[in-house]
C-alpha cells in the first residue's frame, strides 16, 4: 500500500513538472522568419533582410493588394551587426524554425561568404535543412521582393521549382558544410535568377549551380543542364529532359530520363596520373519526335538511342572539362572516389589535389535505355511518303 502511494505521488509530481509551457516566449511574442537574404553593399557594409509572415492575413486571407508577409532590413559592418539592425525594428522575437530559404547576392558571393557561414554555424536557431541560394546577377533582397502569384509566400517558390525539375530540396546548407570540411572538395550552392515573366511582372527562375573555391568565394556557374549532369554523377537527380539533334532524321528527339544510376571507377598509373571512368545510366521516355523516322522500326529506335547516348556522353565530358580547366575546383566528388577506392594512394595525393584535379583524364559513357516511344511511331506532321521506315 505504501509503495502504491509513493508511486502515485511520483506520478503526480511528474505530471506537474512536465505539463505547461517551458518557453518564456508566447506565440504572440514571436515573428516567423520564412526567408532571409544577405548582400554586400558598395561601401563594404552588409545588408540583411527577412521575409516575415503576418499571421492575421494568413488566417483570414489577404485581400486586394494586401500581402501575407512583409520584409524588414538591417545594415552593419558585420553580418551580426546587420541582423541586429533588423531586430531593432521588430516588436517580436524572431523565430527561424520555419525558415526554408536564404538568398545570397552575387556581389557578396564573389567577395566570399566565410563570415556569413560562421554566424550560421554558431546559431542553433538555423535549420540544418535550410536551402541557401545564390542570386545570379542580382541581390538577395531583390529575390525576396519578387512576387510569385502561385504561392502566398513567394520564397516557397524556389524550393518547389527546384523539386519540380528533379532536384532535392532541404540539402544545400548541409551539403555545403560537408563539402567545405572534406579534404580536396569545393562546395556548391543552387542558383536562381530574376527574369522577365510573360506579364510585366518579374519572376524567379532556377538557373543551375554556383561554384565556390576553398576560400568560399564564387568563381563561376554551371547552367541548368550542366548542373543536372553534375547531379547525375553525384546521384542527386530524379528527372531530366534532354533534346538532341538527329541528323539522319532531319529533326530533334526529346526524351524524359528517370531511374538514374552512376558509377565512377578510378585508377592511378605508375607515374601517379589519375584516370576516372564514369558510367551514367537511366531510362528514357520519348515525348517528342520532330524527325521523319518511324521509331516503331528497331533500326530507327537504335539509331536514336545511340545518338542520344553519344551526344550526352560528350555533353557530360564538356561539363567536367569546364569544371577542371575553367574553375579548377573539385565539385564532382572525385576526391571521395579516390579516397574510397585507393585510400593509401589518396594520402599521398590529397596534399596536391588542387593541381592534380584539373589534369585527371576522364572518360564518360552514358547509357540511356529507351523504354517507350509514346503512342505513335512517326511524327504526325509527315505524310506517309516522307517517313523513313
To 10 degrees, the CA torsion angle through 202, 207, 211, 215?
20
Q: Is residue 19 part of a domain?
A: no
Whether the Cβ atoms of residue 260 and residue 232 lie closer than 8 Å to each other: yes
Could you identify the residue written with the cell 537511366?
A: 282
Q: What's the pLDDT score for residue 85? A: 87
Q: Is residue 216 part of a domain?
A: yes
Query: Residues 216, 249: one domain?
Result: no
Query: Residues 115, 196: one domain?
Result: yes
Query: Which of 200, 198, 178, 197 shows the shortest CA–CA distance to 188?
Result: 178
Q: Which three cell numbers stand for residue 379?
A: 511524327
3-state SS, residue 270: coil
Q: What's the pLDDT score for residue 361? A: 96
Q: Is residue 288 part of a domain?
A: yes
Q: Is residue 50 part of a domain?
A: yes
What's the full length of the chain, in residues?
389
Q: Is residue 365 part of a domain?
A: yes
Query: Residues 177, 271: one domain?
Result: no
Q: Is residue 197 part of a domain?
A: yes
Query: Residues 176, 254: one domain?
Result: no
Query: Residues 285, 304: one domain?
Result: yes
Query: Residues 48, 162: one domain?
Result: yes
- The DSSP letter of residue 293 is B
Q: Which three cell numbers stand for residue 44?
A: 563594404
Count of the separate structural domains present in the chain: 2
Q: How far apart are CA 101 and CA 86, in angstroms?
A: 17
Query: Which of 174, 312, 336, 347 shows the shortest CA–CA distance to 240?
Result: 312
Q: How far apart are CA 66 and CA 40, in angstroms?
A: 30
Whether the Cβ atoms of residue 73 and residue 49 lie closer than 8 Å to each other: yes
Q: What's the pLDDT score for residue 377? A: 52
Query: Residues 207, 240: one domain?
Result: no
Query: Residues 305, 187: one domain?
Result: no
Query: Residues 350, 269: one domain?
Result: yes
Query: Residues 236, 370: one domain?
Result: yes
- Give the pLDDT confidence of 2-18 residue by residue, as tens digits: 566 555 666 666 655 55
Q: Is residue 11 part of a domain?
A: no
Q: Is residue 5 part of a domain?
A: no
Query: Residues 310, 232: one domain?
Result: yes
Could you identify the residue written with the cell 561601401?
A: 43
Query: Residues 76, 194: one domain?
Result: yes
To 10 degrees, the CA torsion angle through 90, 92, 98, 102?
20
Q: How far apart are CA 380 and CA 366, in angstroms?
A: 30
For position 344, which CATH number holds? Answer: 3.30.300.210
Expressed as residue numbers, the domain containing 241 is: 227-389
Which of 171, 202, 222 finishes a domain? Answer: 222
Could you identify the residue written with the cell 558571393?
A: 109
- Per residue of the chain (389 residues), give pLDDT as tens: 556 655 566 666 665 555 555 455 565 667 778 899 999 999 999 999 988 888 776 555 555 557 778 888 999 999 889 988 888 887 777 777 678 899 999 999 999 999 888 887 787 777 788 899 999 999 999 999 998 888 888 888 999 999 888 888 888 988 998 888 888 899 999 999 999 877 778 899 999 999 999 999 999 999 999 999 999 999 999 989 999 999 988 889 999 999 999 999 999 988 889 999 999 999 999 888 888 888 788 888 899 999 999 999 999 999 999 999 999 999 999 999 999 999 999 999 999 999 999 999 999 999 999 987 765 555 556 545 455 55
Q: What's the pLDDT score for residue 387? A: 57
Which of 200, 222, 244 finishes a domain? Answer: 222
Q: What's the pLDDT score for residue 60? A: 56
Which of 196, 222, 248 finishes a domain? Answer: 222
The DSSP H or E segment spanning 50 is strand 46-53
Q: How far is CA 131 from the centre of its chain?
A: 8
Using alpha carbons, list the distances in angstroms from residue 232 to 176, 211, 225, 303: 18, 17, 10, 24
The pTM assigned to this predicted structure is 0.85
- The DSSP letter of residue 197 is -
Q: What's the pLDDT score for residue 385? A: 47
Amino acid at each position: 500500500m505504501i509503495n502504491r502511494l509513493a508511486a502515485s505521488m511520483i506520478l503526480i509530481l511528474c505530471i506537474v513538472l512536465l505539463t505547461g509551457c517551458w518557453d518564456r516566449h508566447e506565440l504572440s511574442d514571436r515573428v516567423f522568419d520564412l526567408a532571409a537574404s544577405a548582400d554586400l553593399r558598395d561601401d563594404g557594409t552588409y545588408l540583411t533582410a527577412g521575409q516575415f509572415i503576418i499571421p492575421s492575413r494568413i488566417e483570414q486571407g489577404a485581400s486586394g493588394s494586401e500581402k501575407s508577409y512583409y520584409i524588414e532590413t538591417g545594415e552593419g559592418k558585420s553580418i551580426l551587426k546587420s541582423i541586429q539592425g533588423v531586430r531593432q525594428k521588430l516588436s517580436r522575437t524572431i523565430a527561424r524554425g520555419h525558415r526554408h530559404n536564404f538568398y545570397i547576392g552575387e556581389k557578396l558571393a564573389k567577395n566570399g561568404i566565410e563570415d556569413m557561414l560562421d554566424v550560421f554555424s554558431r546559431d542553433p536557431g538555423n535549420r540544418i535543412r535550410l536551402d541557401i541560394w545564390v542570386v545570379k546577377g542580382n541581390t538577395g533582397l531583390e529575390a525576396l521582393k519578387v512576387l510569385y502569384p502561385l504561392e502566398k509566400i513567394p520564397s516557397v517558390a524556389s524550393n518547389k521549382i527546384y523539386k519540380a525539375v528533379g532536384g532535392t530540396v532541404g540539402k544545400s546548407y548541409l551539403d555545403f558544410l560537408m563539402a567545405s570540411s572534406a579534404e580536396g572538395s569545393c562546395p556548391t550552392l543552387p542558383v536562381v535568377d530574376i527574369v522577365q515573366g510573360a506579364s510585366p511582372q518579374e519572376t524567379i527562375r532556377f538557373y543551375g549551380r554556383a561554384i565556390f573555391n576553398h576560400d568560399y568565394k564564387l568563381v563561376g556557374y554551371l547552367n541548368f543542364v550542366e548542373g543536372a549532369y553534375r547531379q547525375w554523377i553525384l546521384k542527386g537527380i530524379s528527372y531530366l529532359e534532354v533534346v538532341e539533334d538527329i541528323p539522319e532524321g532531319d529533326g530533334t528527339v526529346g526524351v524524359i530520363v528517370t531511374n538514374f544510376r552512376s558509377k565512377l571507377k578510378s585508377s592511378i598509373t605508375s607515374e601517379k596520373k589519375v584516370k576516372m571512368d564514369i558510367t551514367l545510366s537511366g531510362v528514357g521516355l520519348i515525348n517528342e519526335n520532330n524527325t521523319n523516322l518511324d521509331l516503331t522500326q528497331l533500326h530507327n529506335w537504335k539509331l536514336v538511342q545511340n545518338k542520344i547516348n553519344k551526344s550526352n556522353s560528350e555533353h557530360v565530358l564538356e561539363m567536367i572539362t569546364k569544371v577542371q580547366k575553367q574553375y579548377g575546383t573539385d565539385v564532382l566528388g572525385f576526391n571521395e572516389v579516390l579516397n574510397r577506392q585507393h585510400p593509401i594512394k589518396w594520402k599521398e595525393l590529397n596534399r596536391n589535389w588542387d593541381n592534380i584535379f584539373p589534369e585527371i583524364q576522364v572518360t564518360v559513357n552514358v547509357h540511356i535505355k529507351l523504354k517507350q516511344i509514346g503512342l505513335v511511331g512517326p511524327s504526325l506532321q509527315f505524310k506517309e511518303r516522307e517517313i523513313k521506315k
